[in-house]
Every structure is written in structure tokens, then in C-alpha cells.
Amino acid sequence: MKKLIRNAFVVSVDPAVGNIDGADILIDDGRIAAIGRGIDAADAEIIDAAGHIASPGFVDTHHHIWQSIIRGITTDWSLGDYLAGIRMFIARLYSPEDMYVAQLSGALQALHAGVTTTADYCHNLNSPDHVEESIRGVKDSGARIVWCYGFNQPPLSNPAFPDFRARADYLVRTARDHFTDRNALVTLGVCPEESGFWPDIESGRAQFESARTVNARLFWHANSTRNAITGTPNVDAGRAIDAGLLGPDTVLVHMNSATAAEWRQVADCGCHVSITPETEMQMNMGWPVIGQTMTHGINPSVGIDIISNNSADLRFQLRLLLQAQRWAQTADKTGVLSSGVSLSAAQALTWGTLNGAQALGLDHMIGSLTPGKQADILLHDMRGITTAGWDRSQPEATLLLQCGIDTLATVLVGGKVVKSGGRLVADEAEVCRKAEAGNARILDRIRDNGGLRRALDENLRRYIKPSDETGRAVYSYS
Ligand SMILES: [Zn+2]
């Protein structure tokens, strides 16, 4: 069935289409068939969008969706606390059932916030059942997801995957069982362990090679820590590039302490970068690297990172990044009255849409309202008190700085309506009930295992320590 979105203010994020007031969008077989004024489609279902802005769905390039049921736990934590408290402790307490409900509720809250596509860095796959339930959760949500098979696992006394080979074999099976259709809503990525966990470079090479064996895109935490003793950069990306591990299929996440030489290497390699401003600034990873990416012609995109810290609304991350960088670029003129700002809100909207699609290798399908692309579309109702009197000359800025989840009335993914009248189409009450139950189970297990404070103190001593004074790693299982 065709759909016709009628009479919207279209913000396309496609220079060839531009912004059009009073435009229609024709959707046929899940794709955008046409955009323009006065489209005639007598056989189409009509979606009246008068008084609405139509824009492409947001694209989040870094999100650990599995943490959706431990909401807000890390809000006053550093990165060391996070590694000790979640990666080394709470991660162990998740059952496959917990993974399912976290994945489902997390992907739905992304849709509710207008994030139609998410790169899900799923690095808590403690058993084959955790893998299966994680995939089932995101597939049940109706969101577009690059679901990434993580090679990390927390310290387990009796791990279901006893070694790398077992985990790599299960990746091959996962690709065969779940990801044979490259045009499906949920596709496959891989996230190798951080280099601090590699005993040697060959360990890293095996992880990157296993991803390429199954044609998966790569997502990798890099350069977010420094050597704890010397303070020198860990040069994660530079070493990986020297070893031939990175390429245009790689999304580097964070990169805050990358050196000038590494930035040149990353640009030459054609890698993409995902920036998560809220966790990076809170957790002392460093200043977000939007300036370096633009200077070196590298594609920057933006991620939520963790619901255990901040909300699923990508708009907050884009605004934080935009304003932080505006300040940084004029820091030497602080207090001087001058005209204009260094970055536009329209640029920031592109980071969260088209650039994200490029990072995921999906820009031929999503990231802008363009005929031929998938109909991943947001409709913001501009007629309420939040946006009355909005500036028609700057719709991109309005979308980022004025709109919010409360103005987001309708969301489509691949032409299918997943949010309507401001409410999810899915059974939200039932999913929330399951998420609350999952949250309660995890909190019970935290208490039964000695509590969070004790785990933080013990694990900080035990795991979060320099393992190599040359600067290769700052944390270790040893
Ligand atoms: Zn992350």
C-alpha cells in the first residue's frame, strides 16, 4: 500500500532536494518514491502533515543498547567507575532474558526519540543464549539496527565461550542464521575488544579478520584512555593502522586522545568516527573530536553511548557537541563582541543523520529524505505551545534547538508507522512492565553480590590498573 505524507514542511538533509514548505512525500513499497508539491496518488493512504516538519530519522552510531534496563546508574561516574562497575561487574549479572528486554525496550525508546537507526555495540554476549536473545530483542522492536557482535566478555568463572575460537565460530553461525539478507532492517556488525585487552597485535588481527570473513562492518572503542602512569596517549588507532587492521569499513569510537600523526593516518585510511559528547566529557575521556575530524576531512557522526548514563534522545548529544565546539573555536576571543558563530545547527543535524548513515555504510538507503531511499521519516507537530512561532527560515536549527520528543508525533521506518499521535505503536505498557521487572532482577543480583560500592572498590583495584608501562594498556584481567 502506498502512503502519501501530505503538506509537510520538508527538511530533507539532501542538497538536491533542499527544504520545501507545503510538500508531499510519496512512499511506495517502503521507499520514498517522490517529494514535491501537489503529488497526485489517488490510491495512497493519506497522512495529513499540515503544520508538521518532515525530516529524516536520526542515526545513532554508538549505543550499548543492552544497558537500557540499568537506567541512570552511572550519572555521577568516571570511566574507571564505569569499567569497574558495569563492564567488570553488572555485565556478569545479565541473563539472556535480561538481554532480550533491554534490547527491546532500548530500541523502542530510540524510536520514540526519533532515532530510526542505531549501531548497537552489543559487548555483553556471555553465552550463545545471550547472542540469540539480544538479536531477538532488536528484531522485535521494528527499529533499523546494525547489531554488532562484541568480542568482549566480563570476567566469568565458567565462561560459555571459553576462548576466542569458540566466540569466532559462533559469530560465523550467527551470520549464517540471522544475517543473510543485507537489505534487512537488522544487519550485522562486529566490535572487537579494546586494544588494552589484546595480549598482542595478532589477537586484535584475528578479531578484525573474523569480522571481515562475515562481511560485517567494524566498530571499535579507540583512544579513549591514556597510560595511567605516564599520561601518554595509547595510540590505539595508530598501532592498528600500522598493523593493517583498519579501513573504510571501520567506525572508530571516541578517539579523544588520538595524536596529530594518528589523525593523518585515520584520514588516509578512510575510517569513520563516532563521537559521544556526554559520556566523553563526563567520564574524562577528553574533549569531543569534532574539530579534528573536520580538519582532516574525516566523516564525524554521533552516538548516545549508554542509557545507564543519559537519555536516548540523540538531539541532546548533537546540541552538546555543537555548543561545546562553538565555544572551543572562539575560546581565544572569550568575552569579545563579534558577529556570527563558527558552526551552524544545520551542520549538526547532518552529523546526526546523513553522516551517521555514511558511517554505517547505509547512506544509499537512509540519512536523508531522497527519492529511492528508505522511508525513515520523522513528523514533528509544530502547532503546539513548544514550537508556536517557529522560525521558518531556519528549520534545521528549530529541529535541534526547539523540538523534542514531545513534538515528535509520527515516526516511520521503511514506510511503516512505528509511532503515531505521539505514542509508540508497540505495546509500550507491556514492554515497560518487562523493563521494570528486568531492572528489579539486576538490582537484586547487585545486592546479592555485595552491592555496587564494594564491587567498584574491589574491581578498581583488581582490573583497572596499568598493565604495561610503555603505554599499551591501562586495564587488564590479569
Ligand atoms: Zn561505548
The C-alpha cell at 38 is: 501537489
Q: In this prediction, what percent of the chain has a pLDDT beyond 90?
A: 88
Q: How far is the CA of 275 from the centre of ligand 1 (A)?
A: 10
- Residue 471 binned pLDDT confidence (cut-offs 50, 70, 90): very low
Q: Which amino acid is at 325?
A: Q
Q: How far is the CA of 277 from the centre of ligand 1 (A)?
A: 11
What 3-state DSSP class applies to 344? coil
Highest mean pLDDT among 79-88, 137-146, 150-159: 137-146
- Residue 368 binned pLDDT confidence (cut-offs 50, 70, 90): very high
Whether the per-residue pLDDT at 478 is higher than 60: the answer is no
Whether the per-residue pLDDT at 338 is higher than 90: the answer is no
Q: Which domain holds residue 92?
A: 58-331+341-358
Considering the domain architecture, whether residues 274 and 383 belong to the same structural domain is answered as no
- Residue 190 binned pLDDT confidence (cut-offs 50, 70, 90): very high
Q: How far is the CA of 447 from the centre of ligand 1 (A)?
A: 25
What average pLDDT does the structure give for the chain?
A: 95
Q: For the segment 285-327, what is each residue's pLDDT rounded down to a tens digit?
A: 999 999 999 999 999 999 999 999 999 999 999 999 999 999 9
> Which CATH number do you get for residue 171?
3.20.20.140
Q: For the segment 380-394, what is each residue's pLDDT rounded down to a tens digit?
A: 999 999 999 999 999
- Residue 465 binned pLDDT confidence (cut-offs 50, 70, 90): low
Q: How far is the CA of 13 from the centre of ligand 1 (A)?
A: 27
- How do strand 52-56 and strand 19-28 relate by DSSP bridges? unpaired
> Which CATH number do you get for residue 416?
2.30.40.10
Rounded mean pLDDT, 178-200? 94
Q: How far is the CA of 190 from the centre of ligand 1 (A)?
A: 13
What 3-state DSSP class applies to 207? helix
Tell me what pLDDT residue 461 has: 83
Q: How far is the CA of 11 from the centre of ligand 1 (A)?
A: 30
Enter the pTM of the model.
Answer: 0.97
Considering the domain architecture, whether residues 99 and 14 belong to the same structural domain is answered as no
Considering the domain architecture, whether residues 239 and 258 belong to the same structural domain is answered as yes
Q: Is the model more confident about 121 or about 335?
A: 121
447 occurs within a structural domain: no
Tell me what pLDDT residue 463 has: 76
430 occurs within a structural domain: no
What residues contact 431, with CB distance under 8 A and at least 6 apart?
Answer: 101, 104, 105, 108
Q: How far is the CA of 464 from the centre of ligand 1 (A)?
A: 17
Q: How far is the CA of 8 from the centre of ligand 1 (A)?
A: 36
Q: How far is the CA of 221 from the centre of ligand 1 (A)?
A: 6
445 occurs within a structural domain: no
Q: How far is the CA of 80 from the centre of ligand 1 (A)?
A: 13
Q: How far is the CA of 472 from the centre of ligand 1 (A)?
A: 19
Considering the domain architecture, whether residues 158 and 172 belong to the same structural domain is answered as yes
Tell me what pLDDT residue 231 has: 83
Contact 188, 179 (CB under 8 A): yes
Considering the domain architecture, whether residues 195 and 295 belong to the same structural domain is answered as yes
Q: How far is the CA of 163 from the centre of ligand 1 (A)?
A: 23
Q: How far is the CA of 236 from the centre of ligand 1 (A)?
A: 15
Distance of CA 4 to the CA centre of its chain: 30
d(CA 160, CA 154): 12
Question: Could you give the number of structural domains in the chain?
Answer: 2
Tell me what pLDDT residue 466 has: 58
Q: How far is the CA of 350 from the centre of ligand 1 (A)?
A: 21
Q: How far is the CA of 177 from the centre of ligand 1 (A)?
A: 26
Q: For the segment 206-231, what is each residue's pLDDT rounded down to a tens digit?
A: 999 999 999 999 999 999 988 877 88
Q: How far is the CA of 305 from the centre of ligand 1 (A)?
A: 5
Q: For the segment 77-98, what is each residue's pLDDT rounded down to a tens digit?
A: 999 899 999 999 999 999 999 9
464 occurs within a structural domain: no
Tell me what pLDDT residue 332 has: 86
Rounded mean pLDDT, 421-434? 98
Instruction: Describe the strand order of the beta sheet including 58-63 as a list of residue ranges.
Output: 58-63, 115-122, 144-150, 186-191, 217-222, 250-254, 272-275, 300-302
d(CA 119, CA 138): 11
